[in-house]
Chain A
Amino acid sequence: MAVARSKTIVSDFSLSPHIDQVGVEERASRFTKRSIKKESKLNGLLLTLNMIDLTTLEGKDTDGKVKQLCYKAMHPYDAIQGLPTVAAVCVYPSMVKVAKKALDGSGIKVASVATAFPSGQAPRDVKIRDTKYAVANGADEVDMVISRGKFHAGEYNFVFDEIASIKEACGEARLKVILETGELGTYDKVRRASDIAMHAGADFIKTSTGKIQPAATMPVTLVMLEAIREFYYKTGKMIGMKPAGGISKSKLALHYLVMLKETLGEDWMNNHWFRFGASSLANDVLMQIVKEKTGLYQAANYFSVD
């Protein structure tokens, strides 16, 4: 009976819990006040590096640029031995093949955005073909965008069905669902979209495309982490989280790790369940790692641009 009742509740997404805006922002700001000491900080930085989805999503991307990025993914900073690699390289579907070949044997995943990224304004069959193309070219992970317009119009079933059909098209590939929280407007809607995505079969929920401001913020991420936690309590199924866009400093990344640890706990503290979508974060993390090891504050011009 209990199971049946919980199913009834989740199928009506307009009943997703309301979010206390002041409370969430207050709570999120408190994660930034933790004191992280030297050794934990270094471990946190290494973990952050290992959680990064190194990203290039630009119209001007070329094969050469993607190869360069893949090299950086495998060799973040060769002056220090034994650094972890990043988790994945995130590219457009047309670049998946190049990235897959460049990363061959490294264990680094290839993530591809799909479904008419970043707007998502395309018919469903186009989105499915886009997804299948990426997967056929070797994408290990697919980052899809939801139809925000339909979501705002209250057509939650449309959004739900779309995610489910893309999940089906993904096959073995893990599906990350981008909510584009900057276009959703309120925490209530972020929570609702998270619930829809998770029930529809997302393996990850992701804040933003990085093309819209504001992108990932700590309160928005907290709302999503709490949605994941509740979903886990209800179904026993773990969902991953990927904040993306606007996280370019190590310090901020460490704040996110604190939030992750205190919201979801130890089990999520690895790159199977948590990712940072970022392009410039990697260099800042490397600079801080070198600072921790040498004691000298570092300069950006000693680190590779891509």
Chain B
Amino acid sequence: MEKSIKKSSLSVSPNGLEKKTSSKRLEVLKTYKIYIGGQFPRTESGRFYTPVNATGKKLANVCLSSRKDFRDAVVAARSAFGKWADRAAFNRGQILYRMAEMLEGRKAQFIDELMQQDATKAKAEKEVNLAIDRLIYYAGWCDKYQQLFSTVNPVATSHFNFSVPEPMGVVSIIAPQSDSLLGLVSVIAPVIAGGNTCVVLASETKPLCSVTFAEVLNSSDLPGAVVNILTGKPSELLPWFVDHMDVNATIYCENDSTNRKMLQEKSASNLKRIVFYDTINWYSEKGESPYHIMDTQEIKTTWHPIENIAGSGGGY
């Protein structure tokens, strides 16, 4: 009975014309959905979980993705891979820059979400700013890392022999649990800068920014399905992230020796590459590096028959 509606909030003025209502507006809460193939579906499983912050406040009802969502996401990522890798490197850079622009425009929302997830205002601002800068950083690298990491190799036969980095394909990523925005951006950006597509599992305890970041991606020029973002529990999805035969590399960011061992063992099924980022402080200089692009690149070497190359008449 205590909870019954206060009489005053519904009372009608004596003449019956003026309706007095409660001044408190019912807020419209956002539905946090996952991001697959450029769409925002709910999880196929229909499940959800409710993460809480340090003060015990419920953050939102978030999709608890299943292995079938992951499977669908991999199919989408694979179908997007060819076209994304075929884009001119410069164009990929433009698109990453556009992502930074869109993120800048929604800064306030991200700061607000980070603060809901226990960050102080100063720390939240710093994290968002750094995330934007990180996108710009990798946007710049898109058409430059190839030149740094390509080589012309001296060989004993009459061949022009050169090696160039190429994207691996579909990368599955378990994003860092802390630094839910900066960590997410820092693992996604180098992967797509290098022409890969990816399926990302966002932070389990702090998933809000990941879904909002998906909205940023969706309104950038990034083709759908290049980045797919799921929310859910790593404990449930981790084996599937590394088991899938159509995934070429897996990135894992936690320091959990049991999981690390499991990932390494399971990766043998199709010899996928496993990348561990567990010791990286994303705020430090080590959080950004062209070597992170190279983590999901393969080196392809070409032997091109040729008589003479060098001006002197010899080979390289």
Contact = CB atoms under 8 A, between A and B. Distances in A.
Interface residues of A, number: 7
Interface size bracket, B side: 10 to 19
Nearest to B70: A297
A302 interface: yes
Nearest to A249: B75
Contact of A302 (B71, B78, B243, B245): B245
A292 to B, nearest CB: 13
Interface string B236-268: 000010011110000000000000000000000
B245 to A, nearest CB: 4
A2 interface: no
Contacts of B74: 297
Interface of B is mostly: helix
B281 interface: no
Nearest to B243: A296
Nearest to B74: A297
Interface of A is mostly: loop
A299 B270 contact: yes
B71 A296 contact: no
Contacts of A295: 243
B269 interface: yes
A300 interface: yes
A288 to B, nearest CB: 11
Interface in B47-79: 71, 74, 78
A94 interface: no
A299 B247 CA distance: 8
A169 B261 CA distance: 67
Contacts of A302: 245
Nearest to B67: A297
Contacts of B240: 297
Nearest to B71: A297
Interface of B: 71, 74, 78, 240, 243-246, 269-270
Task: Identify the 5 closest CB pairs spanning chains A and B, nearest first.
Answer: A299-B246, A299-B245, A297-B244, A298-B245, A296-B243
13 contacts: A296-B243, A297-B71, A297-B240, A297-B243, A297-B244, A297-B246, A299-B78, A299-B244, A299-B245, A299-B270, A300-B78, A300-B246, A302-B245
